[in-house]
Amino acid sequence: MKVLVLLALFCFVVKTNVQGQDLQEFLIEGYFKNLSNKKIYLGNKGQGYGNGFKLQYFDSTFSIDGHYSFKGKVNEVNYYSIETEEHKGWCTFLLENSKIKVVGNADSVWRALVIGSREDSLRKVLNKLTRELTDSLNSSGDSASKALGRGDTLLSRNFSSLNQYYAKKIALEKYRFTINHPSSVVSLFQISDISTRLGKDTGKFAFNTLSLEVRSHSAATNIRYKIFDLDSNVQINKVAPKFKQRDNKSRLVTLESYKGKYVLIDFWASWCSPCRAENPNLITAYTKYKKSNFSILGISLDVDKAKWLHAIKEDKLPWKQVSDLKGSNNEVALLFGVQSIPMNFLIDPNGIIISKNLRGKELEKVLSNIFGVK
């Protein structure tokens, strides 16, 4: 059996507690009644059976008298599904690094009971809160369609209005859940609906209440773009906001001190694995272009000074580093509207933001075009 390893695009830290211990991998132990010696698949992001949707399989195994298991590691919590080779539907749940049991009947896999995933338990809590409203939503939607099919447009509009009412009520329940569970990935997956039904300002508020770890989930990228980037004040071709912060030697550093240079403002943290993985690319760019009027300024979202200093030394970062050690509440990060890390902004000699979120080859391409170096 192969080990499942998924790499997150953004830094996301999930600590799952099972019987008081933090596990570094998941173990799924399952049993399906009426299933003997059949192939079982573990796939990603199954949203339901039919509609032409097909699971993207990551692992497979064979059941023995209905019993099966999967073992591996995920770097962030996300939706996964289990399906049998008979393809009679699948059981979808939130997979995290913990010991999980999936028990059900092979003839109704989608009804299987999932135990052991904290995040999936929270998903069930939310589903229970919205179940009656969801049933009413579906009922009003069906009634509207039937009325329209009969040519009764007035009744159809009435049912459609009722459908929108229930949709808004569901979004309100999701909003309350999100406010009460800021450290849950389940909350992140509700933001789009909250923003759509209750307004973008409400969606922004709900998103900002989420923990930095949750806001750094890969799924947050599209959500953040829709509700923030389109109308953010920190935009390309606009003047970068001025700031000052102390470096790792307690010296005050200002953005204005970089006037006349191209500077990459890099937001990172010692605990952020994707940030640390990107540092070699930054070192390459810095070494190549530092004599061409280019520099980097690191801004850490750490809270532990010792860990911050150790990471600077361990990664051999030669450029200036600043931090107020306030974590996700770093004043410069808030000023730039940073919702996840790694994140960076490239500023020209006149203080204008000319690009952002540059990594690897993309950073090299932009700098090469600026300085004409191949």
Distance CA 244, CA 254 (A): 4
**One-letter amino acid for residue 354 of the chain:** I
Whether 227 and 207 have beta carbons less than 8 Å apart is answered as: yes
Who has greater pLDDT, 325 or 44? 325
With a cut of 70, say whether residue 23 has pLDDT above it.
Answer: no
Domain residue spans in the chain?
5-116, 120-231, 244-371
Question: What's the pLDDT score for residue 230?
Answer: 54
* C-alpha angle 306-326-191 in degrees, rounded to nearest 5: 125
CATH top class, domain 5-116: mainly beta
- How far apart CA 9 and CA 26 sit, in angstroms, is 20
Highest mean pLDDT among 14-18, 73-77, 255-259, 336-340: 255-259
pLDDT tens digits, residue range 145-202?
Answer: 576 567 676 676 576 567 678 888 999 999 999 999 999 999 999 998 898 788 888 9
Distance CA 321, CA 213 (A): 22
Q: Mean pLDDT throughout 325-330?
A: 87
Q: Mean pLDDT throughout 240-253?
A: 93
Mean pLDDT of 305-317: 92
CA 54/CA 167 separation, integer angstroms? 28
Whole-number Å distance between alpha carbons of 190 and 171? 8
pTM to 2 decimal places: 0.57
Query: String of b and e for 38-75 (b: at least 16 CB within 10 Å)?
Result: bebbbbbebeebeeeeebeebbbbebeebebebebebb
pLDDT confidence bin for 49, thresholds 50/70/90:
very low
Crossing angle for the helix pair 305-315 and 273-289, to the nearest 10 degrees: 50
Indicate whether 14 pLDDT > 70: no
68, pLDDT greater than 70: yes
Q: How far apart, in whole angstroms, are the C-alpha atoms of residue 68 and residue 8?
A: 27
Amino acid (1-letter code) at residue 197: R
May I ask the CATH class of domain 244-371?
A: alpha beta
Which ranges of the chain does DSSP label H, i.e. alpha helix?
Answer: 118-149, 153-180, 185-188, 191-198, 200-209, 212-215, 220-227, 273-289, 305-315, 331-335, 360-371
Ranges 93-102, 152-161, 329-338: which has the least confidence = 152-161
